[in-house]
Structure 1
Amino acid sequence: MNIALWIVAGLMAVAFLASGATKLAQPKEKLAASGMPVVEDFSAGAVKAIGILEVLAAVGLILPAALDIAPVLVPLAAVGLVLLMVGAIITHLRRHEAQAIVVNLALLALAVLVAWGRFGPQSFTG
């Protein structure tokens, strides 16, 4: 189970690091034009804030445990991603974007798995 949690956390970290970095590096207009029209619902500052949260969560899923510095941050980062995905699902529901909701539900389930596993049976503090 420990290895599975590391793999899931690693894959999620890569995905959210890429997503967050994209939101931070590109202006809102370019993101909207390149297939992310949901950013039109938010201010440029909100898009950057979401990008920062995604990057912080990606880092928080891996580094605290890998460096053995405050490993309790791993499940907390997963909980942060759960909250981000709930917000994303609500946003996509309002926009009637079913395909995006499916992706967000899958990411939500993986984040819940990591949070449960790292708070519970495969905790770094136990």
Structure 2
Amino acid sequence: MNKPSKSKKTVNILKVIFQVLLFFILGWAGMMKFFNSDDLPFPWIKDDPQLVLITGVFDILGSIGIVLSPIFGLKSKITVLSSIGIIFLMLSAIVFHILRHETGDITFNLLMIAMAGFIIWAETKYLKSQQIV
């Protein structure tokens, strides 16, 4: 049996850290949007309550999807698809903030995109090296 290389272990550790971070960040955001949206400091939340609920649903779905594979031993494609969904959600948020002239708020979205993108890269690199894809 081949031992994983040190770089492969490092990539895997970073991937898991990013999955956990995305799980907690999106989970927290989704729960706050459902149960405590009045306490969130974002001006757009007061403007459109339906949008708050819709984004809350997507936050929670992304949070759950990003950890389904490792928790339940499912195929890694779920993680990749969830990461793609998170990227689309964050790109939508960036467009939304730019249209509202809130460009100072997009740094967080870019960080989320970077983490989700790293997860996709790590998963597809790992899958290909294991000849699963």
Fold similarity call, TM over 0.5: yes
Choose which of 24, 38, 41 in structure 1 pairs with 2:44: 38
Contact 2:68 2:78 in 1 (8 A): no
Query: Aligned partner of 2:42: which letter?
Result: M
TM-score by length of 1: 0.84
Return 5+ residue gaps in structure 2 as ranges: 1-10
* Preserved contact between residue 27 and residue 63 of structure 2 (Cα < 8 Å): yes
Q: 1:10 aligns to what SS in structure 2?
A: helix
In the other structure, the counterpart of 1:96 is 101
Please give the secondary structure, in 1, of the residue aligned with 2:126: coil
Across the aligned residues of Structure 1 and Structure 2, the Cα RMSD in angstroms comes to 1.9
The count of corresponding residues between Structure 1 and Structure 2 is 120
Structure 1, unaligned stretches of length 5 or more? none
Match of 1:60 among 36, 48, 65: 65
Identity %: 24
What per-residue deviation string (whole Å, max 9, x for no partner) do you get for residues 26-70 of structure 1?
A: 35xx15xx411122453x233212101111111111122221134
Q: 1:122 aligns to what SS in structure 2?
A: helix
* Displaced runs of 4 or more, over 4 A: none
